[in-house]
Amino acid sequence: MKLAIFVFLCFFSSKAEAQSRVSWSFEYDQKAGLLKLNAELADGWHLYSQHIANDIGPVPTTFQFDPNKSYKLIGKVDEPKPIQEYDDNFEALLDYFEHQVEFTQRISVRSSTVLTGTVTYMACNSTQCLPPTDEHFTIQLNKD
């Protein structure tokens, strides 16, 4: 029983720590037909690009949108040009973002609805990485 409580507390404390290092905001730009998925990162912390081979080590940032017939995603989630550096911890050339990053997803809205989904990411600094974290989100989509 004590082990179960310890594991439970470790899970929630690491999730809380990741959320204190990375703050997400999500919005729909109706005029542009874009979802804007923004991450603000604490000084010294970074998160990884979507385009990292899983066998290297760090978890790439991924977005999952729950199915809904009221909208259609167009293409894939775009990201700005990442920082690319050799990482001594993973012994690999890696792509990542610091400070702030905006991911975008083109979308066609058929009728007003609420879009739900999850972003999975891994926050690291120069000496440690926090466990991968799932951040659930909801975005109000309005159709004129």
Span 80-112, pLDDT tens digits: 999 999 988 888 899 999 999 999 999 999 999
Element (H, E) at 3: helix 2-21
Give residue 12's domain range. 2-141
C-alpha–C-alpha distance, residues 79 and 48, integer Å: 11
Decide: 62 and 117 in contact? Cβ < 8 Å: no
Domain count for the chain, please give it. Answer: 1
pLDDT digits (tens, 9 = 90+) for 36-94: 999 999 999 999 999 987 677 899 999 999 999 999 999 999 999 999 999 888 888 99
Say which CATH number the domain at 44 has: 2.60.40.1250
Confidence of residue 121 (pLDDT cuts 50, 70, 90): very high
**Tokens 């083109």 -> residue:** 106
